[in-house]
Amino acid sequence: MEKLIQLAKENIKNSYSPYSKFPVSAILELKNGKIYKGVNIENAAYGLANCAERSALFSAYSDGIRKSDIKRLLVYTDHDYFVSPCGSCRQVMRELMEDDAEIILVNNHDETKVVRNIELLPLGFSKQDL
C-alpha cells in the first residue's frame, strides 16, 4: 500500500487542473502487480475534462486489460479529507471493474479508507438494464 501511495503522490504533479486547482491522482493496480497511472485533465470547455480514475482505467483498457485483471484503484488528493470518485467515475468503475475490487481513498496524511467498488454505486446502470 505504501508503494501505491508514494506513486500517487509523485503522479499528482502530472495533473492538468488550472481551472479547479484540484489535482487528483489515481493508481490502478492489476492482480499481476502491473500499475496504470491517471490524473485529472481539465479543459476550458469543462465538459471535456477527464477524471484521474477514468484516465487510469481507460489507459489500462486501451492496453488490453479487462475487469478480471484489476485488483484495486487508489485515489489520492492533497487534502486532509477523503475525496470520493464523482458519479461519472463511479458509473465507469462499476462497469470496468469487478464489484469486489478495492477502492482506496487516501488523504494527505496518508490515512486510508477502503471500500468495495459496488459500495460506491449499489444501483448502477449496467448492460442488464438495456
Q: Which residues contact 87 (CB under 8 A, 6 or more apart)?
A: 121
**CA-wise closest residue to 97 among 63, 51, 58:** 58
Domain extent, residue 27, equals: 2-124
Q: How many domains does the chain have?
A: 1
- Adjacent-strand bridge partners of 74: 27, 104
At residue 128, the pLDDT reads 87
Is 129 inside a domain boundary? no
Mean pLDDT estimate for the chain: 97
The predicted-structure confidence for 22-53, as pLDDT tens digits, reads as follows 999 999 999 999 999 999 999 999 999 999 99
Grid cell locating 3: 508503494
Is 130 inside a domain boundary? no
DSSP 86: P
The predicted-structure confidence for 50-61, as pLDDT tens digits, reads as follows 999 999 999 999
Catalytic residues: 53
- Measured CA to CA, the distance from residue 122 to residue 90 in angstroms comes to 10
Q: Domain containing 15 — which CATH number?
A: 3.40.140.10
- Reading phi first (left if > 0) and then psi (alpha if -120 to 50, else beta), residue 2 is in alpha
pTM: 0.94
Q: Are the beta carbons of 115 and 90 closer than 8 angstroms?
A: no
